[in-house]
Amino acid sequence: MIKAVIFDMDGTIADSEKIAQKVTREFFKKRGIVLTREEEKIMFGLNWKDLVKEILNSRGHEYKQSIKNTLKERYVRTMRKEVKALPGVYELLEEISKNLKIGLATNSRHREVDIIFDKLGFHEYFHLKLARDHVKKGKPDPEIYLKAAEIFKVKPSECVVFEDSIIGLKAAKLAGMKTVAIVNTYTREELEPEADLIIECYKDINLDKIIALGGEETK
């Protein structure tokens, strides 16, 4: 029986992945590094430190904290102005919140969580918010999802996770949870191996379909 729904943040409830992608692409292009489309897709779901390390190391450059900090601040400034919620997410959160526990589990830091939640008004829907600061290992390690289940006092098998990235889906699967993938940063075909259900938008999902993932029907 499904008792909790856990959402990723960037690219899943907030359309911030595209902002991060644009800012990162422009930031490194000015430094003579042109990212390929495949590189950009692989980096979805990574935290900023790992993302910058991947880019610099792939070009034979040494990682520098100052570069990461500058890029992240540029992203935060842009995100404050431009971030929007994914269409239909408020309606789904409203429906779920009346029946199930709702949690957040993101590779972003709590600072970014607060900025996005303040701007988009998500606070009222979530009973739990876990960020990268709250765990030792980020996704694709399952730690953050297992911690959410522990705090909610539910079994991992009683949780449904919403994700948009392959890294996030792998983390949820390793935690033993059901997964719903939303097509945003990856294609349906790319998401398919790690997803129990794939949706194009939030109009494709409702409480009954979420509960059905646990093998039960609503009364």
First to last CA, the chain: 13
Q: Which of the following is catalytic: 10, 50, 141, 196?
A: 10
Mean per-residue pLDDT over the chain, rounded: 94
Asked if 133 is an active-site residue, the reply is: no
CA distances from 130 to 9, 17, 95 (A): 10, 18, 22
Entry pTM: 0.89
Confidence of residue 219 (pLDDT cuts 50, 70, 90): very low
Going from N- to C-terminal start, the domains of the chain cover 4-15+84-212, 17-82
Confidence of residue 41 (pLDDT cuts 50, 70, 90): confident
CA–centroid distance for 143 within its chain: 14
pLDDT mean over 108-132: 96
- Tell me what pLDDT residue 43 has: 74
Where helices occur in the chain by DSSP H, the ranges are 17-29, 37-42, 48-58, 65-82, 89-97, 110-120, 143-152, 166-174, 188-191, 207-212
Q: Which of the following is catalytic: 8, 15, 114, 118?
A: 8
The residue type found at 25 is R
* Residue count of the chain: 219
- Tell me what pLDDT residue 6 has: 98
Token duo for residue 164:
């948009």
Which of 42-51, 67-76, 84-93, 143-152 comes out lowest in average pLDDT?
Answer: 42-51
Cβ(126)–Cβ(144) under 8 Å? Answer: no
The CATH topology of domain 4-15+84-212 is: Rossmann fold (3.40.50)
Interstrand relation of 197-199 and 178-182 (parallel, antiparallel or unpaired): parallel
More confident residue, 30 or 219: 30
Asked if 10 is an active-site residue, the reply is: yes
More confident residue, 40 or 59: 59
pLDDT mean over 103-108: 96
Distance CA 156, CA 166 (A): 19
- Tell me what pLDDT residue 201 has: 97
- Tell me what pLDDT residue 216 has: 63
pLDDT digits (tens, 9 = 90+) for 179-214: 999 999 899 999 999 999 999 999 999 999 999 999
Q: Does residue 129 surpass a pLDDT of 60? A: yes
Cβ(205)–Cβ(182) under 8 Å? Answer: no
Residue 37 phi/psi, 5-degree rounding, is: -60, -40
Cβ(144)–Cβ(130) under 8 Å? Answer: yes
Token duo for residue 81:
């102005």
